[in-house]
């Protein structure tokens, strides 16, 4: 079933160009060579490989697949021969077909993903990566990387560090909100998303009274999940405006059109291939017919005419600045600061911290800047520090957080908080003005036996003057123009002076 000529089906997904928008879903088309003669891998938009890990994985014992009325539940366990065997024995043949290859990668630790990506990147034969974040994170207790936007982003950042090729994150429908995972992944370098993976499901064999699959819970795919994944694709597209490969229950051209209209620029065909091996090719043909009927010159021209463009989200720093303005944490006008100087801006951090939703979102943006620091404990000074240290530790997956406080003018570790010798500590501060409090906290932590590995803060208003000897990662750098009262241009312009400060309260 060779594809015929007609309107151009080529499609650009961010930096990735495909000859048509129908790809073979990971794990359902082997390594692209099993159906040669029926579906040549170079006839489809791309072949997404079965998940590849650093070492061979044996997968679960059979039974590993069970049919349900409108789908399939599988618990294969990501069986694969390991990246080296793939590179030596499969990649040369697959690459020789001229197929576009998207390598799906898996891992049990962040470093494994990066190692697999580095090995594949070095071959020059892989067009893009698809990161499967639905894998157990062994170092952090076995929950999958998809259970928190920050843990997912840590995987993406590690892969981004070893390759310039396009990265698609395969979002998990359960766990953390996929939209938040997408935003966090985008902030650290993802180019697009596959939406979505399978849905956790359980089938019970009523004769034995036991789960039908040896592994117990498996992943549901097929038509049963299509409306769920179309909704997710639409939400992720509207939230990010980024390229999406729709995955879940694509069996016919009608199903593919649904995903395109929801904002996807390509679809992946998975379960359908098992019962109709030519399903993907039929969808390619159906798309040509559809474009002809619609009078469209090309697939992209048609997409542009039916799908509203969504603005890409602003960069994290800009997003953070908007939060500051919306909550009133940064006021613009004419203010008297506690130093006695006048300024055009005033920062009241508690406008941010009093709103848990905003604080959580801001801390997430900050956490994305601190992913690479090897922290075991997060410590923050005083009241703002308690809140931030707790939330930052929670999001980074760090198991402890505490705060320091000033006693008799001196910052101290109190209340029975203690550090194992050499514990790696990440400091977090709300606003850094001179860096005084944070450096006093660093001293207190070192006196208590800890080792400071980095400092994060929401707002740096030091004007670049705070330059500690460890990595310092502010979320927002805020310029405050200050003037002595006797030479204040704002006074000269007659702008009323406000005094919102708290330190002078008696
Ligand atoms: C048997 C089977 C194996 C799969 N293996 C993988 C895999 O290795 N990596 C991955 O990211 N997704 C895997 N998936 C998920 C599919 O790629 C796809 O996203 C999902 O099945 C939904 O699409 P569908 O309804 O068209 O099958 C697998 C699905 C099935 C049914």
> Using the 8-state DSSP alphabet, how is residue 248 labeled?
S
Worst-scoring range by mean pLDDT, 167-171, 258-262, 445-449, 501-505? Answer: 501-505
Evaluate whether 90 touches 31 at the Cβ level (below 8 Å). yes
Indicate the top mutation candidate among 128, 198, 227 to test ligand 1's pocket, ranked by most ligand atoms within 8 A of CB. 198
CATH architecture, range 11-306: Alpha-Beta Barrel (3.20)
State the pLDDT at residue 314. Answer: 79
Q: What is the mean pLDDT of residues 134-156?
A: 89
Q: Is the pLDDT of residue 100 over 90?
A: yes
State the pLDDT at residue 503. Answer: 46
State the pLDDT at residue 218. Answer: 95
What does the alpha-carbon distance between residue 116 and residue 256 come to, in Å, rounded to a whole number? 31
Instruction: Count other Cβ atoms within 10 Å, centred on residue 356.
Output: 10
Q: What is the mean pLDDT of residues 183-194?
A: 96
Query: Closest by alpha carbon to 394, among 364, 415, 365, 437?
Result: 364
> Using the 8-state DSSP alphabet, how is residue 57 labeled?
B
What does the alpha-carbon distance between residue 66 and residue 75 come to, in Å, rounded to a whole number? 9
User: What class is the 316-492 domain?
Assistant: alpha beta
State the pLDDT at residue 360. Answer: 95
| 196 CA closest ligand 1 atom index | 19
The two three-digit tokens of residue 82, written as one number: 């390991």
SS3 158: helix
In the chain, how long is the greatest CA-to-CA distance?
89
Where exactly are the structural domains of the chain? 11-306, 316-492
Q: Give per-residue pLDDT as tens, 432-479.
A: 989 999 999 999 999 999 999 999 999 999 999 999 999 999 999 998
Q: Is the pLDDT of residue 22 over 70?
A: yes
Q: Give per-residue pLDDT as tens, 324-372.
A: 999 999 998 999 987 788 999 999 989 999 999 999 999 999 999 999 9
Q: Is the pLDDT of residue 504 over 60?
A: no
Residue nearest to atom 10 of ligand 1 (CA): 26
Q: What percent of the chain has pLDDT over 70?
A: 98
Average pLDDT, the chain: 94
| Inter-axis angle of helices 253-262 and 279-294, nearest 10 | 60
248 is in an annotated binding site: yes
Banded model confidence at residue 480, pLDDT cuts 50, 70, 90: confident
59 is in an annotated binding site: no
Query: Closest by alpha carbon to 452, among 367, 383, 379?
Result: 379
Evaluate whether 250 touches 268 at the Cβ level (below 8 Å). yes
State the pLDDT at residue 67. Answer: 96
135 is catalytic: yes
| 223 CA closest ligand 1 atom index | 25
Worst-scoring range by mean pLDDT, 5-9, 244-248, 387-391? Answer: 5-9
Q: Give per-residue pLDDT as tens, 204-217.
A: 999 999 999 999 99
The two three-digit tokens of residue 492, written as one number: 């000269």
260 Cα–ligand 1 center, Å? 19
What does the alpha-carbon distance between residue 255 and residue 21 come to, in Å, rounded to a whole number? 13
181 Cα–ligand 1 center, Å? 19
| 271 CA closest ligand 1 atom index | 27
Q: Is the pLDDT of residue 29 over 50?
A: yes
26 Cα–ligand 1 center, Å? 5
What does the alpha-carbon distance between residue 421 and residue 491 come to, in Å, rounded to a whole number? 53
Query: Could you tell me if the CB of 75 is within 6 A of ligand 1?
Result: no
**Helix, strand, coil percentages, rounded to 5, for the chain:** 35, 25, 40
């Amino acid at each position: 079933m060779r594809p015929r000529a007609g309107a151009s089906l080529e499609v650009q997904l961010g930096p990735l160009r495909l000859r048509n928008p129908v790809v073979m879903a990971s794990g359902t088309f082997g390594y692209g060579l099993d159906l040669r003669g029926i579906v040549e891998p170079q006839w489809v938009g791309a072949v997404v490989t079965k998940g590849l890990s650093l070492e061979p994985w044996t997968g679960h014992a059979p039974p590993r697949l069970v049919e349900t009325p409108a789908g399939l539940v599988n618990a294969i366990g990501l069986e694969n021969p390991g990246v080296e065997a793939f590179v030596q024995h499969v990649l040369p043949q697959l690459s020789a077909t001229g197929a576009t290859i998207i390598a799906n990668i898996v891992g049990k630790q962040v470093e494994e993903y990066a190692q697999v990506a580095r090995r594949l990147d070095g071959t020059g034969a892989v067009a893009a990566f698809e990161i499967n974040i639905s894998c157990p994170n062994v170092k952090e207790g076995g929950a999958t990387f998809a259970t928190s936007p920050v843990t997912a982003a840590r995987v993406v950042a590690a892969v981004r560090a070893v390759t310039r090729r396009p990265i698609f994150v395969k979002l998990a429908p359960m766990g953390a909100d996929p939209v938040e995972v997408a935003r966090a992944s985008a902030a650290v370098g993802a180019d697009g998303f596959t939406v979505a993976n399978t849905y956790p499901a359980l089938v019970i064999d009523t004769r034995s009274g036991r789960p039908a699959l040896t592994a117990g819970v498996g992943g549901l795919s097929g038509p049963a999940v299509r409306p769920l994944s179309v909704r997710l694709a639409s939400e992720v597209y509207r939230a990010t405006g980024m390229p999406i490969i729709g995955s879940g229950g694509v069996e016919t051209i009608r199903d593919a059109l649904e995903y395109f209209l929801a904002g996807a620029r390509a679809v992946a065909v998975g379960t359908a291939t098992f019962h109709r091996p030519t399903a993907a090719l039929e969808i390619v043909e159906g798309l040509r017919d559809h474009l002809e009927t619609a009078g469209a010159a090309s697939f992209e021209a048609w997409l542009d005419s039916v799908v509203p463009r969504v603005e890409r989200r602003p960069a994290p720093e800009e997003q953070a600045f908007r939060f500051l303005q919306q909550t009133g944490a940064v006021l613009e006008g004419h203010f008297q600061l506690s130093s006695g100087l006048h300024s055009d801006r005033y920062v009241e951090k508690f406008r941010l911290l009093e709103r848990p939703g905003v604080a959580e979102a801001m801390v997430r943006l900050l956490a994305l800047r601190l992913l690479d620091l090897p922290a075991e404990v997060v410590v923050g000074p005083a009241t703002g520090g308690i809140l931030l240290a707790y939330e930052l530790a929670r999001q980074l997956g760090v198991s402890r957080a505490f705060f320091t406080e000033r006693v008799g003018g001196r910052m101290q570790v109190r209340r029975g908080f203690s550090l194992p010798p050499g514990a790696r500590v990440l400091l977090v501060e709300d606003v850094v003005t001179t860096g005084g409090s944070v450096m006093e906290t660093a001293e207190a932590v070192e006196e208590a036996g800890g080792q400071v590995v980095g400092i994060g803060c929401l707002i740096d208003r030091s004007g670049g003057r705070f330059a500690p000897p460890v990595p310092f990662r502010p979320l927002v750098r805020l310029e405050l123009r200050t003037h002595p009262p006797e030479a204040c241009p704002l006074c000269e312009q007659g702008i009323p002076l406000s005094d919102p400060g708290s330190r002078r309260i008696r």
